[in-house]
Amino acid sequence: MKGHIRERSPGHWAIVIDVREPQTGKRKRRWHSFAGTKRQAQLECARLINELQNGATVDPSRITVDAFLDRFLSDWVALHTAARTAERYTCSVAHVRRHLGDRRLQSLRPADVAALYAALSKAGLAARTVKHVHVVLHRALGQAKVWALVKDNVAEMVKPPTAATEEAKILQPDQARELLARLRGHPLYLLASLGLASGMRRNEMLALRWRDLDLDAGRLTVEQALEQTRAHGVRTKAPKTKHGRRTISLPAHIVVELRDHWRAQQEQRMMLGMGRSPDASTVLANHDGTPQTPDTRLVKHGNEPWAPSAGPGLRYTLCATPMQAC
């Protein structure tokens, strides 16, 4: 295996490496661009030859979309996103794999991406879902450009379907009172009452610990949230930003409800022989002391208007803004 350098312009070099195809034995030249001094270009040429001889490199022109997406998920997504976000990226990537996975990355064209979005839309995917596929593909191909695997990010040249803008439905005071009246006496009552009064996110409320509460002062501190993923199950995580850590003042009626809930929880634990709740235990825990899962959903049982049941997807969620429902 041989290589040499050619000066294209002052400080810019072409590194040319002669290789032979293992299947056919035919000679082939690989070209690499390099900016720097002549000595640096010579060293880079030697490094590339060494990598090729040791089998440490792959010809970028032969990388398929599927193979590149594997690398994108392992080398970028896994390092730069949270576990829940990584799962959403993986789901979006799966749509790309099905339609474009066997294509060579460098042969991908804007028309191929447009055809992908059209096929997903015809298959019944919502415009919002297709748009998220576009966001992920755009990010992936942008990283491919950074890694010098492609010259252009073809997703920049294609627009995804426009998703309809949906206005958030705001609960009016009488609707909030009706909701709480229907939930009273059921396990989700305190979750709804606390959410409407504080504006906390669902995952923040489920991660709330007794030590995060100061009922004498009528306030709580948000320090963590629950996260549920296929890879890790249910676990706690820190807020995404420094603004996520915050102190919230509580209305008097919530303080009373939390005190009542604490007494009821201790009585239940004593009956089960578990002892009193430690400060690190969650406020809205299951009967065995474990945190409730974020993906609990609401279903109807008999004449009861609301009842909790474990399963995927929360059918009714409380948003971060007080008195607002998603």
Q: Is residue 163 a part of any domain in this protein?
A: no
Residues 223 and 259 in one domain: yes
What lies within 8 Å, CB to CB, of 272 at 6+ separation is 287, 288
Helix (H, G, I), strand (E, B) or coil at 89: helix
Q: CATH number of the domain at 193, please.
A: 1.10.443.10
Amino acid identity at 289: G
Query: Is residue 164 in some structural domain?
Result: no
269 in any annotated domain: yes
Residues 20, 70 share a domain: no
Residues 47 and 87 in one domain: no
Give a yes or no: residue 320 inside a domain. yes
- Residue 162 domain flag: no
| CA–CA distance, 142 with 80 (Å, rounded to integer) | 14
**SS3 letters for 205-218?**
HHCCEHHHEECCCC
Average pLDDT taken over every residue of the chain: 82
254 and 185 together in one domain? yes
- Confirm whether 268 is domain-assigned: yes
Check whether residue 50 and residue 69 sit in a common domain. Answer: no
Structural domain ending residue among the three candidates 18, 33, 57: 57
Instruction: Give the per-residue pLDDT at 56.
Output: 53
Give the Cα separation of 267 and 320 in Å (integer): 31
Same domain, 89 and 137: yes
- pLDDT at residue number 23: 58
In angstroms, how far is CA 218 from the centroid of its own chain? 34
Q: Is 253 inside a domain boundary?
A: yes
Q: For residue 117, tell me if it sits in a domain.
A: yes
* Closest among 72, 77, 151, 74 to 108, alpha carbons compared: 151
Partner residues linked to 205 by β-bridges: none
Residues 27 and 94 in one domain: no
Boundary (domain end) residue, out of 157, 186, 203: 157
Mean pLDDT of 15-35: 78
Residues 244, 180, single domain; the answer is yes
How many other C-beta atoms are found inside a 10 Å radius of the C-beta of residue 246? Answer: 13
Count of positions (residues) in the chain: 326
Domain extent at residue 147: 65-157
Residue 178 — left, alpha, or beta (φ > 0 → left; ψ -120 to 50 → alpha)? Answer: alpha
Is the pLDDT assigned to residue 313 strictly greater than 60? no
User: Last residue of some domain: 157, 189, 222?
Assistant: 157
Residue with more model confidence, 126 or 290: 126
- The verdict on 285 and 314 lying in the same domain is yes
3-state SS of 252-280 is HHHHHHHHHHHHHHHHHHHHCCCCCCCCC
CB burial string 293-313: b at 16+ within 10 A, e below: bbebebeeeeeeebebeeeee
- The reply to whether 148 and 195 lie within a common domain is no
Domain count, the chain: 3
Give per-residue pLDDT as tens, 201-210: 888 999 899 9
Residue whose C-alpha is closest to residue 44's, from 14, 20, 9: 14
Q: Are residues 207 and 184 in the same domain?
A: yes
Lowest model confidence (mean pLDDT) among 8-12, 29-33, 119-123, 260-264:
29-33
The whole-number pLDDT of residue 308 equals 40
Q: What is the CATH number of the domain that holds 99?
A: 1.10.150.130
Do 215 and 279 belong together in one domain?
Answer: yes
pLDDT tens readout for residues 253-296 = 999 999 999 999 998 888 888 888 888 888 988 877 778 777 65
Of 59-63, 73-77, 86-90, 142-146, least confident by mean pLDDT is: 59-63
Task: Please tell me the distance from the alpha carbon of residue 117 to that of residue 175, in angstroms, as a whole number.
Answer: 40
